[in-house]
Amino acid sequence: MRRRQSLVALAMLGAQGSRAAGSTATGLPPGAPVPAAARECPLGGARPQPGTDVADASCDPVRRGRPLRFSRDHGAHLANRMEWWYLTGWLGEAARPAYGMQLTFFRLRTGLAPGPGGRFAPRHLLLAHVALTDLAAGRHRHAQRVARWNADPTAAAAAAALDDTRVHIGDWSLRRTAGRLLAEVGLDDATRLQLTLNPTQDLVLQGDRGFSRKGPQESHASHYYSQPQLTLDARWRQPDGRSRPLSGQGWLDHEWSDDLMPGDAVGWDWLGINLFDGSALTVFRLRRADGSSLWGGGSWRSPDGRTRIFEPDEVAFVPGRRWTSPTSGAAYPVEWALQTAAGRFKLRALLDAQELDARASTGLLYWEGLSELLDPGGRRLGLGYLEMTGYAGRMALG
């Protein structure tokens, strides 16, 4: 589907009604008090005054020098236009992984109903994508949800907490408790995944202490941190009623922004890889329509905890073999040569057909799948996820 894709357009559709199966609508009764965070945060944020509470702190805008504070910044940032909690991982053995899994919760501020209002004028949309790649079967399954949200963090049907990671849409959820991440989602009525992830390393603050540039202008930026090298335990309830335990490794990204993409960018290529020696590699670039790189970055976390942040001229993506999607017609590079300040690598998808059709929620088509990182000689160094957007139409986020 070669067309301009826009989450802002989706926000307007969300005001009319949810489109995805399993979606819900939430809101305050007419005339009910509006939460302070929804009432007092101008779009784009404003610096909080000293002594403000947790809700008001969500008004702090994306800016260089803003320190990330935890556990507060594990929670939602309601003043910012877009935000996501992005969880990926592999299950099985490192030599022969059986499955790849991806779960993402999105929050999109609509700009609607800045004052008191009913539930049919949502302040935010909450969206979620889940995907499971079965390597043995060569099958990629995914599901999605979308819900209106009025910014009340206690809403039962769909909400995101302000003080820590607790986000849910119906019975899909991601939460942080006692340092662990717990998630539960369903691919269909009979197939459910319960995930437990435990950290083994400190957070990686991407960019300049969590301020991550996405273009030549500092206005195109996000606050962004990663949690690599998570131990992952999963319980998979299968359609036949059996419950199957699996283990592996996971990765979490949390990112929020007001203006992520420069006007001449059509999409991005991103990867997050857990290496078997305990290292962690992040590499990304913003891409022009002709395939050239507009901006780039990333990081290398060594096993001893030292972190190297990449400058834009220290990363290069060279596409190799491509796979053409029968759904969108997009041609995705599923093999890459990577040049970074930490070394040269090869990246290869473990299954070509890992395109995610999210037109029933975010309106987007993109590729996101389990991949292997190789040294120049072809030895596998690690496993993780590659994401490619803007190949099936410009990725317009605002």
Give residue-wise pLDDT tens across range 10-25: 443 333 333 333 333 3
d(CA 366, CA 356): 5
Give residue-wise pLDDT tens across range 208-263: 999 999 999 999 999 999 999 999 999 988 777 788 899 999 999 999 999 888 99
Q: What pLDDT is recorded for position 240?
A: 78
Cα dihedral: 7, 12, 14, 17 (round 10): -150
Q: How many CB atoms lie within 10 A of CB 49?
A: 8
d(CA 275, CA 329): 33
If phi > 0 it is left, if psi is from -120 to 50 it is alpha, else beta; for residue 138 that is left
Indicate if the pLDDT at residue 378 is higher than 60.
yes
DSSP for 189-206 reads SS-EEEEEEE--SPPEE-
User: Bigger pLDDT: 40 or 326?
Assistant: 326
The full set of domains in the chain, from first to last, is 5-396 (2.40.370.10)
Mean pLDDT of the chain: 85
9: tokens are: 């357009």
Q: Which residue has the tokens 């437990």?
A: 196
- Give residues with Cβ within 8 angstroms of 343, minimum separation 6: none
pLDDT confidence tier of residue 118, bands split at 50, 70 and 90: low
Helix (H) or strand (E) holding 225: strand 221-237
Task: Count Cα atoms within 13 angstroms, Cβ side, for 128.
Answer: 28
| Percent residues over pLDDT 70 in the chain | 82
User: Bigger pLDDT: 341 or 37?
Assistant: 341
pLDDT confidence tier of residue 181, bands split at 50, 70 and 90: very high
349: tokens are: 């998808």
Angle at the Cα of 96 (from 90 to 102), degrees rounded to 5?
15
Give residue-wise pLDDT tens across range 62-111: 999 999 999 999 999 998 999 999 999 999 999 999 999 999 999 999 88
